[in-house]
Amino acid sequence: MEQPNLSYINTLSGGDKAFETKLIGIIKQEYPEERDVYFKNFKAKNYKLAAENVHKLKHKINILGLNESYKVAEKYEHNLIDNITEGKDDFANILQAITNFLNGL
């Protein structure tokens, strides 16, 4: 499985460390809540709302350089819209990888 990284953030910042720090701080602040809301909606079998949560989380997945994981999340989002939960384990693994990465920053 691919691992989160800061390559996109570094490219986006053009070397501006203050910008990088601010963006990483925003991600670290927003991500846990977005992740928890997704799990809450999934557990409640509210798959339409869970799909909206996946949509929001896809942006963090992309920013953290997870190109293949983004594709997995996109497919999973569409499955949830159709009340299909296929892909939930792969998505949970992606979220765990991001959690571990952010906790290590």
Give the residue-averaged pLDDT of 25-29. 98
Q: Token digits for 19?
A: 């910008």
Q: Token digits for 102?
A: 């952010």
Q: Which helix (H) or strand (E) holds 78?
A: helix 67-81
According to the model, what pLDDT value does residue 1 have?
83
- As a whole number of angstroms, the distance between CA 72 and CA 19 comes to 29
Q: Tell me if 43 sits within 8 A of 76, measured CB to CB.
A: no
Q: What is the mean pLDDT of the chain?
A: 98
**Position 59 pLDDT exceeds 90:** yes
Percent of the chain scoring above 70 in pLDDT: 100
Give the residue-averaged pLDDT of 63-81. 98
- As a whole number of angstroms, the distance between CA 45 and CA 40 comes to 9
